[in-house]
Amino acid sequence: MLTARSSFEAHLYMDLHPCECGSGDFDRQHRLEQRGDDIVAVYEGACRQCGTARRFAFRMAGEIPPPPPAFGGSQPSEIIDPGEFAEVAFRISESAGLQLLRTPKSERYKLRDAVAYTVAAFEEMLKFLPPGEDAIPASAFTSEVGKARYRREPRKYSRDILEMNVRQARAVLADIDRAGRPPQSPQ
């Protein structure tokens, strides 16, 4: 059974594993079950594109998860590899970055959640670095997406590059936070 460190991580895992028809969209009905000493989160629903029944069950890790958008505590994910986190982080950061360029400063707060999600995904990649090592080892890449990303660009998983990505994403988030939300007008 898959072990998720948070419901946020479970949702990302489901997003990364689409239906056989290719759609990742399904009506997720959620319930918690007690199985022995484990709490299991079960997600079920029909694929919105083809109607196929989908079901995922995750043993929830014992550690209390940090608040979203963090995916989990101090340990690396057991169900999402660093290449998958990279795929998500770069895809969202590129999209949010383009939107930020076209968005007036006073409206950038609307992109905060996407940028915070990017920061969290970049931070997850750092958890795969073994203590004292300068890069994530190839063995950490277990998914097809992750292995392919690693083969194409192994240098992107060096400590220096990973830390730079986190710093840059945090800087964008800090800029959004400094700009703040516009004051609410009285109604």
| C-alpha separations of 100 from 85, 87, 103, 123, 168 in Å | 22, 20, 5, 21, 14
Average pLDDT, the chain: 94
Residue 29 bridge partners (DSSP): 44
Residue type, 99: Q
| pTM for the full predicted model | 0.92
pLDDT at 183: 66
Mean pLDDT in residue range 86-90: 97
> Is residue 71 domain-resident?
no
Does the pLDDT value for residue 185 go beyond 60?
A: no
> Is residue 66 domain-resident?
no
Per-residue pLDDT tens digits for 107-117: 999 999 999 99
Whether the CB-CB separation of 22 and 4 falls below 8 Å is answered with: no
Cis omega (within 30 of 0) on the bond before 69? yes
Q: With cut-offs at 50, 70 and 90, classify the pLDDT of residue 19.
A: very high
pLDDT at 177: 93
CATH number of the domain within which 29 lies: 2.20.25
> Is residue 139 domain-resident?
yes
Does the pLDDT value for residue 187 go beyond 70?
A: no
> Is residue 128 domain-resident?
yes
Residues 97 and 141 in one domain: yes
Looking at the chain, the whole-number percentage of residues with pLDDT higher than 90 is 91
- How many domains does the chain divide into? 2
Q: Six-digit token pair at 61?
A: 């890790």
> Is residue 151 domain-resident?
yes
Q: With cut-offs at 50, 70 and 90, classify the pLDDT of residue 179.
A: confident
Q: Which domain holds residue 25?
A: 2-60
